Amino acid sequence: MVFQNSVAPAAFVLICCAIMAAGCSGEQPVAAPADVVYRCGETGEFVSAPPQPAPAINPHTGRATLQRALYCPRCKRWHVVPPPDVLNGPPAGYPCPRHNTAMQEQGPLPQ
């Protein structure tokens, strides 16, 4: 029975493909929120940490001393911005106190 012997492997391959396709579509990586930059009021250092309510926890000291900071590409430095409950709106887009232009959440961290 040549017919039966050739159909069975083909069906097996089709089922395997269906399982693999389903498996791939079910394993989409969950995008983690991008880290944001904070300035520590205790040490004065700038750290990158997951977004959280201010004052945020400094991962180096374990204390809630971090304030949000935004980067001004014209100053080439970070500025501490008021927490969201003081500033009406999201911190992104808060204007640079010197240039009055919108600052950004990403930039080179000072060493």
Residue ranges that bind Zn ion, judged by CB under 5 A: 72, 74-75, 96, 98-99
What's the min distance (Å) between Cβ of 96 and Zn ion? Answer: 3
Is the CB of 57 or the CB of 75 nearer to Zn ion? 75
Minimum CB separation of residue 108 from Zn ion in Å reads: 15
Using the minimum distance from each CB to Zn ion, give the nearer residue, 63 or 99: 99
Q: DSSP string covering 55-98, please?
A: SEEPTTT-SEEEEEEEEETTTTEEEE---TTTTTS-STTPBPTT
Residue whose CB is less far from Zn ion, 43 or 104: 104
Residue 38 tokens read as: 């904070």
How far does the chain reach from its first CA to its final CA, in angstroms? 75
What is the closest distance, in whole angstroms, from the C-beta atom of residue 79 to Zn ion in the complex?
7
